[in-house]
Structure 1
Amino acid sequence: MRFLGIGEYNDLGAMYHRLAAEGHEVRVFVGHAAQRDVYAGLLDFTADWQQELGWLRAAGDDGVALFESALNGEVQDDLRRDGFQVVGGSAFGDRLEADRSFGQDALIGLAGPHLRAAATHRFTAYAPAIDFLRRGGGRFVLKFNGADSPRTRNYIGQMADATDMIGLLQMYAAHHAAATTPDFVLMQHVSGVEVGVGAYFNGE
């Protein structure tokens, strides 16, 4: 088979290497220049993944495009409409991943009255969020929107009067680049045990 890997950081480098070792044809595009030395000499890289679409189409049903992140959903939708086999996301899936309020609303809409979700408040400036916390206090979880937002900036509030969260938001506001707009949510903190469900596919 032929696989065209498309991503920013070569996060799936180990998988590409395994596919190549098993005899498949693999070409990889890495968007960020600083990551292009990852698996250098071990994988076949391309500087322009769109130039490889003819190579991929020539494989017919044995050609697969692999997208690594939730940043190119509309492009993936277009490729599927053009007849390519794509493993990755979609425009709708990207929005579910990047827009936390939208994701919560979608979940509640599907589950109906059988599911209660934590209250979520979206902000695109720090001052209104700080005022919100000063008025009501409480524990909240700070999460930034955007599939590529740094997860290290998210924070789980610890103090009932929100003093720690207010201090963090004030620090973020003081160091925020004026040319950009922050986009984040404050989600009501819920005590309990976090659980998850996973599924695995063996390729057959």
Structure 2
Amino acid sequence: MFNFVIMQRNEHQKMSTKNQKKKDVSPKNDQHIKRNFLFVSRWGESLDIAHASQQEGNSVKLFIEDKASKEIGFGFVPKVPNWKKHIDWADIIIFDYTGYGKECEELRTAGKIVFGGSEYTDQLELDRNFGQDELKKHKVKILQSKEFFNFQDAITFVEKNPDAYVIKPCGETQELKQLLFVGNDDEGHDVIRVLKAYEKSWGNDFGNFQLQRKVKGVEISVSAFFNGKEFLTPINVTFEHKKLFPKELGVSTGEMGSSMFWVKDSPIFDATLKKFETTLGKKNFIGHIDINCIVNGNGIYPLEFTSRFGFPQIFIQRAGINEPIGNMLFKIASGQKFTINVKKGFQIGAFIVVPPFPFDDKKSFELFSKDSIVIFKKEIKEGIHPMHLKKINDEWLITGNTGIAVMVSGTGLTMKDAQKMMNNRIANIIVNNSYYRTDIGDRWFDDSDKLWSWGLL
């Protein structure tokens, strides 16, 4: 446990802190109060939120854990090399990734206002088998899956039980999104070939993984913010686009873009996340949680949890939220109950990326992409969300090592309106060697018909 938990403080400090907290969490003072925001980031993904919170008048400090990502955010927001030294300075501490649950719980115990996970929600996301067991415990229908610790056992299983399967890495390996493989062969021959290839290339270093029976339908996720006691409304419904190329071709990237909208009620939410409301309160969770599902005429089948901000989900959500994001996160973290003020209609966003995305190739990144400039034809940056960038002499330069330059968002009363706004903004940007998907949002026109007919919208 951190030193600050056991640090002795005099009575004056205790009273001062107590009175300040009472002042800060009062809804009457709301967004006009300027606060100190400490962002603790795994890969630098929270730069956009930190930058927006700073533009709203708050003081911000950003810590990035990953060494290769340390330059991200330079020139946009103040950076710190050790977040723990700034705990007492912060009015709120925001963790943007899974794996900090223990620290979040200790900070809350010490009286800090924290937006982030818990040990329970970390396990929900990182341990796929635990997540599936919890779904069953909460009486949520799940797809058949089986855990394996070596490739040969998995190959033998598919040979004896021919079907279409999805290969899902667990633990740290699941961060390499291109390793997730969705089989198309009803006999499982394609899955067997991929398992044999992984065995040759990874050996015993791959770790455990799941084979999950594939089911056809619409892939959709529902998410909500949780204030420590209950979910806040409206609920967010998201359609992810994970493959590198349009029409769902190429390798899995984790995400190339998303479309979404906000709703007061959702049958999918009621059948999945809503059942976890009491448990999340007991398990000391305060933050954002998402569950990805496949749905069809036979039912709703949860696939996996994301018990943190989704990326790029949170940036596109921000485009659809009509209140300062920093103030909203503070209200959630301090346990306030309120209705989030959101735009009507649709929100959409696409990543603009450069080589070697989605692969890890340091030489290619340094040769083609490092320090490349994000050029704006017109100096209009509304809806442009900085990702793995630094700012020097007011120029946006690509840094880090992944090749994610910016996220571009758009909003509109119809999906086509949102697409038009996003595409107009993309047309204003020049990034050498860049690429992005041109079909983000197109799924909606087909998927919505199916969802309406199944009674899920």
Q: TM-score, normalised by structure 2?
A: 0.41
The letter for the 1-side match of 2:146 is: H
Query: Match of 1:24?
Result: 58
User: Is 2:177 the partner of 1:151?
Assistant: yes
Map 1:166-181 to 2 at 5 A. 166-176=192-202, 178=204, 180=205
Number of residue-to-residue matches in the alignment: 194
Distance 2:206 2:177 in 1: 17
Tell me how far 1:194 sits from its aligned partner: 2.4
Which of 140, 146, 150 is 1:121 aligned to?
Answer: 146
User: Is 2:31 the partner of 1:3?
Assistant: no
Distance 2:151 2:170 in 1: 14
- Answer whether contact 1:97 1:146 (CA < 8 A) is retained: no
Percent identity between matched residues is 25
Structure 1's consecutive aligned runs of 4 or more residues displaced over 3 angstroms after TM superposition are none
Which of 101, 104, 121 is 1:73 aligned to?
Answer: 101
Map 1:1-204 to 2 at 5 A. 1-56=35-90, 63-111=91-139, 115-146=140-171, 149-176=175-202, 178=204, 180=205, 182-198=207-223, 199=235, 202=323, 203=328
3-state SS in 2 of match to 1:176: helix
The letter for the 1-side match of 2:115 is: V
3-state SS in 2 of match to 1:116: coil
Structure richer in helix, relative to its length: 1
Q: TM-score, normalised by structure 1?
A: 0.88
Structure 1 unpaired stretches of 5+? 57-62
Instruction: Please list the CA deviations of residues 82-124 of structure 1 after superposition, one character each: whole Å capped at 9, or x if unmatched.
Output: 111111111000100111121111112112xxx4311110112
Tell me how far 1:197 sits from its aligned partner: 2.1
Instruction: Please list the CA deviations of residues 21-56 of structure 1 after superposition, one character each: whole Å capped at 9, or x if unmatched.
Output: 111011110011221222211211110111111222
The letter for the 1-side match of 2:108 is: R
Distance 2:181 2:198 in 1: 12
Distance 1:94 1:145 in 2: 13
- Answer whether contact 1:65 1:85 (CA < 8 A) is retained: yes
Tell me how far 1:181 sits from its aligned partner: 5.1
User: RMSD between aligned alpha carbons?
Assistant: 1.7
3-state SS in 2 of match to 1:175: helix
Distance 1:29 1:5 in 2: 6
Structure richer in strand, relative to its length: 2
3-state SS in 2 of match to 1:80: helix
Distance 1:21 1:173 in 2: 49
